[in-house]
Amino acid sequence: MKKIIYIVLAVLLVGIAGFLLYETQVVAKRSPKETVTFNDKGLDISVVYCRPSKKGRLIYGEEKVNALVPYGKYWRFGANAATEITFSKNVTFGGKPVPAGSYRVYAVPGADTFEISLNSELGVTFANNEPDYSKDVVKVNIPVEEIPETEKFTIAFSSSDAAINMDIVWDKTQVRVPIVPQ
């Protein structure tokens, strides 16, 4: 009986190790991890996310037409693990106050606006599951802009007199979140 238990445990361990190896070596290379940092107006911002590619797929749209990121549904904001953002000081994010710290970022995309949320649940790997919504710190609705097609999901920062802009760009869609240090 002990021999059977040891065999079952060994098979399970090999299976788990194989899954983890596949996730870290194969899946992660398709959507590589990226860290973007930005410093302006005395504020340091860092975003850690994974960058999937379009690869000819329909990115945003209705679920019934098999969009990769369906309108009205939770999206982890990238691929693989949950996207995380860190602010070195208090900010307004899309016009709403947010204390300094690190947050999970997720979105609910729509044709005209994205609802972008910051959530205090951190360290979420394989973030296919929806977050604990009770840990949401802020939700903002940001208008969608149409842009020329972009192959890779990208988060970038730029600065204007009024704010630091966090641009979320993929496919033919851009969403610009204004961030203002407090």
Per-residue pLDDT of 17-52, as tens digits, reads 555 555 555 444 568 999 999 999 899 999 999 999
Looking at residue 21, its pLDDT comes to: 52
Q: Parallel, antiparallel, or unpaired for β 43-50 and 101-109? A: unpaired
Conformational region of residue 162, where left means phi above 0, alpha means psi within -120 to 50, and beta covers everything else: alpha
Interior angle at CA 76, CA 102 and CA 52, nearest 5: 110
Same domain for 134 and 52, yes or no, is yes
pLDDT digits (tens, 9 = 90+) for 91-103: 999 999 999 999 9
Same domain for 140 and 155, yes or no, is yes
Same domain for 12 and 63, yes or no, is no
Same domain for 18 and 41, yes or no, is no
Same domain for 162 and 104, yes or no, is yes
Q: Contact 86/49 with Cβ under 8 angstroms?
A: no
Same domain for 41 and 5, yes or no, is no
Same domain for 108 and 49, yes or no, is yes
Same domain for 16 and 61, yes or no, is no
Phi then psi dihedrals of residue 12, to 5 deg: -65, -45
Of the chain, the end-to-end C-alpha distance in Å amounts to 65
For the chain, percent of residues with pLDDT exceeding 70: 86
Same domain for 50 and 92, yes or no, is yes
Looking at residue 22, its pLDDT comes to: 53
Q: The domain containing residue 26 runs over which residues?
A: 1-30
Which comes out higher in pLDDT, residue 77 or 127?
Answer: 77
Same domain for 2 and 91, yes or no, is no
Report the C-alpha dihedral over residues 61, 66, 70, 71, rounded to 10 degrees: 40
Report how many domains make up the chain.
2
Distance CA 87, CA 181 (A): 9
Same domain for 57 and 1, yes or no, is no
Contacts of 123 (CB under 8 A, 6+ apart): none
Looking at residue 27, its pLDDT comes to: 45
Amino acid at 66: N
Count of Cβ atoms closer than 10 Å to residue 67 Cβ: 17
